[in-house]
A and B are shown apart, each in its own frame.
Chain A
Amino acid sequence: MDDRDAARALQHLHRELRRRGLHELRDHLAGALESSDGGGRNDLITTLRAFTVDVELRHLGTSIAVLRRIGEVAEIPGGGAPSALMLDLAPAHQNLVGADSVQLGGEGDFTETLARLGELIAALRSDGEDPSGGRSVDPAPVPA
């Protein structure tokens, strides 16, 4: 896929986000382009990576992983892993949701979405690799 088609695919993504009423997500993903190296394919990959991070942060699996990791290194009252990952709310937010706190990670199991995002990013990366064996247009993530 060349840069021009990738730019069209990105337009399709933004159009679909708007059509589905996902305006906050669309704005967030548009902001992510500020860190792109430019070019249609890089822009599309940068956007899909930002989408992946957003989904991971709302994914049930992430909060489960947080509780498991903490349970592995910390002693918890009652033993095992912590019982929940809670967000205690300021008064303005309490009024908004009608509760003092909410449990983070309850917005859904996005395992399939994350898998599909990963497949598309991998396909775009693979598609952009230099047939001569050179470096991909898209820089690999910096290791932690």
Chain B
Amino acid sequence: MSIDLDDARRAIDDILDSYRDAARTDTAESLLPERLTTGKAYEAWVLCEVLERLHHDEGCDIRLVGSDAVRLKSSGGPINRSYAHFVATRRSDSRQFEVWTDVEFSALSAALEGRSGASLSRCDYHELDIVIVPAGTWGRPNPAELLVGVECKNLDYQKDMLRSLLGVRRELSFLQDPRPTAFRRWPRASVPANPPSCLLAYGTDPNIIDFADPGRVFGIDFHFEPLGSS
């Protein structure tokens, strides 16, 4: 099929016309910054992937607790146990994990200097989009409690995002010979990190895979995860 400039211009006009016709501007959602709402929608999409992997690959039964709706937060914070979250129970050994969104973990550097709880300053904790922790964890998980951290990027993947993720890995664990994780298969059975947390990056940009090399050294897994609802 061949397309010329006039065809392309007409197609673009049709696309923008249909976009205008479909977009509702009278909703509360439309008042929020678009980057916030689209970022959260992608976080929800990746949450599906995390739950499906836990269910199918790790053999977990999963329950939504605290609400019959899936609830995300527009800003991160400590684990609030009254908030909606998922409980995953591994069928083989009944071990329980919890899946939370928008949670801050307390950094390794803070632990090394003896800061925790109320003595943490804002440079001592960092937000992750999705975390998996042992059941019953509260507050800001420390690096030993953080079993899985997930970052979601619906934007074009840039080098500063890699640098940020390498910084998160630095504040989660020391680089060490591979150690067993809390998981049998997914996300990893072992990771070159102590404490042995798994760190995952999901993105809509195929170029995210270009950043995988340093991840192989430090135990960060990069995944291209496009949307496909329609």
Question: Restricting to B44-98, which residues have a CB under 8 Å from any CB of A?
Answer: 44-45, 47-48, 51-52, 54-56, 61-64, 67-75, 86
Residues of B within 8 A of A12 (CB): 8-9, 12
- A9 touching B5, Cβ below 8 Å: yes
Of B3, B28, B37, B69, the residue contacting A83 (CB under 8 A) is: B69
A76 to B87, CA, bound (A): 11
Q: Could you mark each residue 12-56 of chain A with 1 if its beta carbon is under 8 Å from any beta carbon of chain B, else 0?
A: 110011001010110010011011000000001000001101111
Question: Does any Cβ of A come within 8 Å of B138's Cβ?
Answer: no
Question: Does any Cβ of A come within 8 Å of B123's Cβ?
Answer: no
- A55 touching B45, Cβ below 8 Å: no
- B224 touching A144, Cβ below 8 Å: yes
A86 to B71, CA, bound (A): 5
Q: Chain B: how many interface residues by the 8 Å CB criterion?
A: 77
Question: Restricting to B1-22, which residues have a CB under 8 Å from any CB of A?
Answer: 1-5, 7-9, 11-16, 18-22
A142 to B224, CA, bound (A): 7
Residues of B within 8 A of A67 (CB): 70
Chain B residue nearest to A122 in the complex (CB)? B1
- B226 touching A141, Cβ below 8 Å: yes
Q: Is the interface of A mostly helix, strand, loop or mixed?
A: helix
Q: Please judge, given known A-B contacts A63-B44, A142-B224, whether A106 and B22 are in contact too, CB under 8 Å.
A: no
Question: Does any Cβ of A come within 8 Å of B23's Cβ?
Answer: yes
Question: Does any Cβ of A come within 8 Å of B109's Cβ?
Answer: no
Question: Does any Cβ of B come within 8 Å of A111's Cβ?
Answer: yes
Question: Does any Cβ of B come within 8 Å of A113's Cβ?
Answer: yes
Query: A59, A77, A103 — which one has the most chain B CB atoms within 10 A of its CB?
Result: A77
- B64 touching A50, Cβ below 8 Å: no
Q: Could you mark each residue 171-210 of chain B with 1 if its beta carbon is under 8 Å from any beta carbon of chain A, else 0?
A: 0000000000000000000000000000000001111010
Question: Does any Cβ of A come within 8 Å of B164's Cβ?
Answer: no
Question: Does any Cβ of A come within 8 Å of B225's Cβ?
Answer: yes
A82 to B28, CA, bound (A): 21
Of A76, A104, A111, A126, the residue contacting B1 (CB under 8 A) is: A126
- B16 touching A123, Cβ below 8 Å: no
Question: Does any Cβ of A come within 8 Å of B121's Cβ?
Answer: no
Chain B residue nearest to A118 in the complex (CB)? B230
Residues of A within 8 A of B226 (CB): 53, 141, 144
A97 to B28, CA, bound (A): 6
Question: Restricting to B201-230, which residues have a CB under 8 Å from any CB of A?
Answer: 204-207, 209, 223-230
Q: Across the A-B interface, give the 8 residue pairs with the lowest CB-CB distance, nearest first.
A: A57-B38, A9-B8, A69-B48, A65-B229, A73-B55, A108-B22, A62-B229, A74-B62
> Hey, which bits of chain A sit against chain B, CB under 8 A?
1, 5-6, 8-9, 12-13, 16-17, 20, 22, 24-25, 28, 31-32, 34-35, 44, 50-51, 53-59, 61-67, 69-70, 72-78, 82-90, 93, 96-99, 101-117, 119-120, 122-124, 126-127, 139, 141-144
Can you list 29 residue pairs at the A/B interface with Cβ under 8 Å?
Answer: A1-B3, A5-B5, A9-B8, A16-B13, A22-B16, A25-B34, A31-B156, A53-B154, A56-B227, A57-B38, A57-B45, A57-B154, A58-B38, A63-B44, A66-B41, A66-B45, A70-B47, A73-B51, A73-B56, A74-B63, A75-B61, A75-B64, A82-B69, A87-B29, A88-B73, A90-B74, A93-B36, A108-B22, A123-B3
